[in-house]
Structure 1
Amino acid sequence: MPTKHINDAVWRKVEQMTVKAVIETREPIKDTDVLNWLIERGLKGIEKEDFRDLKKE
């Protein structure tokens, strides 16, 4: 698996989402599994206009 840096602020959000997922499912879930799920969900929702917004940031 390629290694990429994730900034601290974004990683904290992933950790928070992991905690929510564990609480909701009442099952252990790895933070890397949550990260992959978030990426997949995000990729499904990207529109052409989003690329322009990305460039502005």
Structure 2
Amino acid sequence: MSQKRVISSLEISYCEDLYKVTDGLNKALKTKDVIVGLSLKDDETAILTVYES
């Protein structure tokens, strides 16, 4: 897997529907060479990261 460059990263309050936002963004931005990732920092905080692919 090639190295991805981080464009932006943001810590936000976790909610159970964040994966839907991430999935929708990835589908919408598929042709723009951008990938959106979602990870959990802890039970209350998520990290949304945008990568250039």
TM-score by length of 2: 0.32
Q: Which has the higher helix share?
A: 1
Q: Report the structure number with the largest CA radius of gyration.
A: 1
> TM-score, normalising length from structure 1?
0.31
User: Which structure: greater strand fraction?
Assistant: 2
Larger RCO: 1 or 2 (CA < 8 Å, sep 6+): 2
